[in-house]
Structure 1
Amino acid sequence: MFFFQPFSKTKIDLPGCPFSELSDHVAAFSCAPTSWACEVCVINRVNGYELKLHLLRRGDKEWFQRDIPCSGIDTIKCAACRTDQQEFYFFDNTDRLFIVFTDHNLVGWRFFRWSPVDPTGPQPKFFVSKSYFMNTDMKKKLGLAMANHEAVSFSTCGTQRKSGGKDSFVYNESISCNRRIEESKSRQLRGVWIYPKFYRVPPKEETW
């Protein structure tokens, strides 16, 4: 497991990764990996009743790990760090939220059910977009909405950004092709969100 900067080709490996294969693992990090405040939080499902929490702080060589009962959590659709609270948020597809919070040597967690924005209610503390790629017609903007691209399906990762000074969380999405076609004959594309910023990482900061 590692951080990778696609513009400078800088790679920062995370030490002692406790899993050799990634299946349903979902990860988030608190800030730039060159910051000494950076924390990486990964969860995966052990079975239908438990999640596995993995946490690594910048400079540490060993991961904190804990099995957590989670009978109410479904498939995780978005993982992010709420910057104003320094908490990791893991949203599932049934509006359940698993929150991990850290404070020095303390690690805790709680479960929460959140509701979409109510126009008549108080202003939300954060925003959530479940279908950002589809709602912004990104397929058309990429030139893949024409007839000769009907056999293209997409899988995009989740991300987060700022909207009106507040955290905005974007779910991962899977978008099928426009017409029925054999899976072997369709193009399956995977997308990641890249912010157009260039960071040159000093050599002394290329290690965790």
Structure 2
Amino acid sequence: MLLSIFLRLSSSEDQITPWVDLPPELVSLIANYLGLIDLLSLRGVCKDWRSAPSTATAEIESEPSAKPWFILYRETENCTLYDPNDKKSYSINFPELKDATCLASHQGWLLLLREGTIFFFCPFSRARIYLPLFPHQEISNHIAAFSCPPTSSECIVSIINRCDEYTIEIYVLKRGDTTWAKHSFERNKWNFGTIIGGIFYDKKETFYYLDNMSKTLTFSLKETKERNCTIYRIVTDAPDPKANCLPFYYQQSYFMDSGLQDWIELKDDVSISTCGAITPGHQCNILINSECIEASKGTANCQMKGIWIQPRFFQIPTTQSWLI
């Protein structure tokens, strides 16, 4: 497709214009109509073409009907990228993923934890935005969500952790903040299981966190004397017609149900943990929950990681930071 476009543009009865001499604005216009892989190929042609598509976003793969892509990796920079829409896979290096844990994935941005540092990362443009130091250097069983891309002045990040059966901690960071705000909630016993997904709903200014026992915890950002942190049970048929409805859809076993396990030929002695993502739906967003698939043989000789992601391309200024 990419080659045919350029052939049509460069062919003329009078003169053939070299591709490298195409005006930057024309290259950028072409880039906006390309899929992600073609876009990356275009950027690899020459220095001029690499700098031209600065606003390209590969929106083709961001339609509600498009399935998210999947990044499979171990504790190295060598990754495999799976496109379930075209049934294609690609080998690609993401050094930023080496020894990293993904906390959230939304609109093509990943929130990563690596060596005690938390930062936003767009794998396909290699754009990074570092966040202020998190209070805990070691994070385990934490789940995060953010409201919108980190380039927006409205971006809000929330990280939740269940310390024990009595305490839940929620850390919040708004764009421009230099420190994380900590909110701790204690009860005699929290009837809440393992946290497997999080999403932000802007109309209610509320974060929703789901567990593995069909419950959701809501955390409101509205200024009150005591932050509202409430747990609800999710039911498919509500007996009360006035019952609240979730403002999003969610898929709890997306990796297992997608058939990707067979595609990547996951062996019996391999365990994999996946980071879910938020993807666009026709009526509202869809939350793909994180999953942990243990080796069927009981002992894992290999531990792999996976990330669901919208294939988007974002190029940002070198001066871009969380504080600007």
TM-score, normalization by structure 1: 0.84
SS in 1 for 2:309: coil
- Give the aligned partner of residue 180 of structure 2: 63
Higher helix share: 2
- Give the aligned partner of residue 230 of structure 2: 111
Q: Counterpart amino acid of 2:228? A: W
Deviations 1:52-100 (A, max 9, x none): 1111100011211121025222211111223443321111112221111
Higher-Rg structure is 2
Kindly state the Cα deviation for residue 51 of structure 1 after the two structures are TM-superposed.
0.7
List runs of 5+ in structure 1 lacking aligned partners. none
C-alpha RMSD over aligned residues = 2.6
SS in 1 for 2:148: coil
- Give the aligned partner of residue 305 of structure 2: 190
1:24-43 matches, within 5 Å, as: 24-43=141-160
**2:267 is equivalent to residue 152 of structure 1:** no
- Give the aligned partner of residue 199 of structure 1: 314
Which of 70, 74, 83 is residue 193 of structure 2 equivalent to?
74
Q: Percent same amino acid at aligned positions? A: 30
Higher strand share: 1
Q: Give the number of aligned pairs.
A: 201
SS in 2 for 1:203: coil
Distance 1:111 1:161, change over 3 A: same
Which of 136, 154, 157 is residue 258 of structure 2 equivalent to?
136
- Give the aligned partner of residue 177 of structure 1: 295
Query: Counterparts of 2:181 and 2:168 in 1: how far apart (Å)?
Result: 14
Query: Counterparts of 1:130 and 1:31 in 2: how far apart (Å)?
Result: 22
Query: Counterparts of 2:182 and 2:292 in 1: how far apart (Å)?
Result: 30
**2:293 is equivalent to residue 166 of structure 1:** no
Query: Counterparts of 1:37 and 1:189 in 2: how far apart (Å)?
Result: 34
C-alpha contact 1:91 1:98 (8 A) present in aligned 2: yes
Q: Counterpart amino acid of 1:35? A: S
Query: Counterparts of 1:120 and 1:106 in 2: how far apart (Å)?
Result: 32
Distance 1:182 1:24, change over 3 A: closer
Query: Counterparts of 1:77 and 1:100 in 2: how far apart (Å)?
Result: 16
Q: Counterpart amino acid of 1:130? A: Q
Instruction: Provide runs of 4+ in structure 1 moved above 4 Å.
Output: 104-107, 119-124
Query: Counterparts of 2:222 and 2:232 in 1: how far apart (Å)?
Result: 23
List runs of 5+ in structure 2 lacking aligned partners. 1-117
TM-score, normalization by structure 2: 0.56
Query: Counterparts of 1:140 and 1:51 in 2: how far apart (Å)?
Result: 37
Q: Counterpart amino acid of 2:169? A: K
Distance 1:156 1:78, change over 3 A: same
Kindly state the Cα deviation for residue 4 of structure 1 after the two structures are TM-superposed.
1.3
C-alpha contact 1:52 1:67 (8 A) present in aligned 2: yes
Kindly state the Cα deviation for residue 151 of structure 1 after the two structures are TM-superposed.
3.0
